[in-house]
Amino acid sequence: MAQKTIKVEGMTCGHCKSAVEGALNELDGITSANVDLDADKVDVEYDDQKVTESSMVEAIEDQGYDVK
């Protein structure tokens, strides 16, 4: 199991939190995704044999947010 913190720009409210967490949780291999709105970040636990960082970044960007 791997853990990573991804910095994300533009998340402002509970809807944004849900959108980003939901998009990550749809990926196979994600164990947990927790957005911290105040810190502009999402903490992800994942199986690095199943999911790549680039696919996580793409999932976040597809929701309309920028990854720093």
> Closest CB to a copy of itself among 12 and 31?
12
Q: Are 30 and 2 in contact (CB under 8 A)?
A: no
Measured between alpha carbons, how far is 51 from 49 in angstroms, rounded to an integer? 6
Among 1, 5, 14, 66, binds a copy of itself (CB under 8 A): 14
**Does residue 68 touch a copy of itself according to CB under 8 A?**
no
Q: What are the residues whose beta carbons fall under 8 Å from the beta carbon of 61, sequence distance 6 or more?
A: 67
> Closest CB to a copy of itself among 10 and 31?
10
Enumerate binding residues for a copy of itself (CB under 8 A). 10, 12-16, 19, 64
